[in-house]
Structures are given as structure tokens and as C-alpha cells.
Amino acid sequence: MTGAPMSIDDAGYERLAEFHDLFMDEPWQRLGPYVRDAFAHLGGDAVVVEVGAGTGMGTRTIAREMPARIVALEPALVMRAVLTARMADDTDLASRVTVVAGSAPGDLHLLPDTVDGFVCAHMLGHLERVARRDLLAWLGSHLNPGGVGLVTTQQAPDPGAADEDIVEVRRLGDYEYRALHLSAGRAAAEAYTSRYEVWHGETRIRDERFSGSWRIVGADDIAADLPPTLRLEPVDRSVALIRPRAPV
């Protein structure tokens, strides 16, 4: 998913990595069609940058939906280790994906000088506004004229939202894994808390808690942070495209 580092608790992500992939299938299944619409026209020599690639679940989705090469930027060591292993275990991914150890915006100089597309999915909320603007400014100056970017957005929570946990469940073998995330109502204060429980039948055998920084970043926020050379094109309540502005 961080030198001006990404506002993210690397130590937290080192521990959270164990549970991360158990609950990311559905978010990336939703994004798949948008990725295809944005990038399927690219050729095999094109380059798409994925900022904050995590463990590579998104990288795999992006690669499946288009033929271009991918440069995956990821700061957290354990997340990046899973990402690298996932790419190495697939012949096609191993030939097309370059994994870069680094953060946004501090390590963007490690990326190619020009790119044909970029993806910032499920990660902009970790950035403070100055860092987010620096990232978008870099993308604006390095995106080819016909390029496109895909970003995920969030809507501001309802002020009256109930303070309840959102629970997801996944079973592996004899164990049931439960993810408990604070509701948007409580997460709006630029912080998040997640708890993961491991159950064997009626017995809870482990309980892990993680906290970190997170900001609600909506389409309007991103539009306000874009450099003059880029424009935002919302395509869904939680997905938007970023394109170069036509010359005046």
C-alpha cells in the first residue's frame, strides 16, 4: 500500500498482512470491469503503475484485464514479500510485473519516466493531503497524453451512522476468521481500527487488533487535489478515472 512516507503504520501492516488477503476478493472482483474498461486497449509495450500494490491481489486483477506491463510499488516488507511470491508463481505475471520497494510520494523517482496508466486503489486514504497532491502532481507530469488512471473513492459518512462493527467471515480448514472493522461513523476521524479473530468451533483462539491513519477521500477531494493538467471523471460511487486535459 509509503522519503515523505505514506501515512501508514508499516509495523501494523507487517502484522495485518496475515489476514489481509482473506477479505479482499470481493473488492477486487467489483473493480475488475472498471480496470478492463480503462486499460484493455493498451498494448503489451504499455506501462501501468500500481501505487500501493499490497500483496498483489489487485496486481493480479489488473494483469488479467489487460496486456500491458505493470510496475507495482509497495513499501511494507511483508506485504511486498507476498506480492513478489505471487508474481513469481505465475509465468505470465513474472514476465510482465516489476515489483518496486518504495512509497508514495517519496520514492516515485524509482518508477518509469513515462507511464500509460496508473491505479491507486484502496490506498489514497492513507496519505495526508500534501502527500496526495504530490503523488497526483507526479502522475500528471509523467502520464502519457492518451493515458488514464483509475482511483477508488469514498463517500463521507452519514453523521448519524451507528457506531457498529462491520463483520466479515472467512473459513480456512478448521478455522473461522472474522474481521471486525469500525463503522464509517467512527472511522471518519482520520483513524481506523480493525480486529481479527480466529475461531475453532465455539472457541476463540486468537484476537489481533490493528490501528492506523485513514482519511475519507471522496471524488471532490481528489478533483481539488489534481494538477491543472488532469481532470477527474467519476464512473461509479466509489470509482473514478483520471485523464489528461485536452490542450486549450
Is a pLDDT exceeding 60 seen at residue 107? yes
pLDDT, position 201: 96
* pLDDT at residue number 211: 77
* Alpha-carbon distances, residue 217 vs 106, 116, 202, 225 (angstroms): 20, 24, 39, 11
Q: pLDDT tens-digit profile of 155-170?
A: 866 655 555 577 899 9
Q: Are 147 and 244 in contact (CB under 8 A)?
A: yes
Q: How many residues does the chain have?
A: 248
In this predicted structure, what is the pLDDT of residue 159?
58
pLDDT at position 213: 78
Q: Which CATH architecture has domain 10-155+216-244?
A: 3-Layer(aba) Sandwich (3.40)
Q: Please tell me the distance from the alpha carbon of residue 117 to that of residue 146, in angstroms, as a whole number.
A: 9
- The C-alpha atoms of residue 215 and residue 189 are separated, in whole angstroms, by 7
- pLDDT tens, position by position, 23-57: 999 999 999 999 999 999 999 999 999 999 999 99
Checking if the pLDDT of 134 tops 80, the result is yes
Quote the pTM value: 0.88
User: Where do the domains of the chain lie?
Assistant: 10-155+216-244, 165-212
Overall fold of domain 165-212: S-adenosyl-L-methionine-dependent methyltransferases (2.20.130)
Which letter does DSSP use for residue 23 in this model? G
Mean pLDDT, the chain, rounded, equals 88
What's the pLDDT band for 3 if we cut at 50, 70, 90?
Answer: very low
Give the mean pLDDT of 230-238: 95
Q: What is the DSSP annotation of 95-136? A: HHEEEEE--TTTTGGGS-SSEEEEEE-S-GGGS-HHHHHHHH
Which one is predicted more confidently, 94 or 154? Answer: 94
Q: Is the pLDDT of residue 183 over 90?
A: no
Residue 137 has pLDDT above 60, yes or no: yes
More confident residue, 209 or 82: 82
Q: How far is CA 168 from CA 88, 188, 210, in A?
A: 29, 20, 16
CB 102 within 8 A of CB 76: no
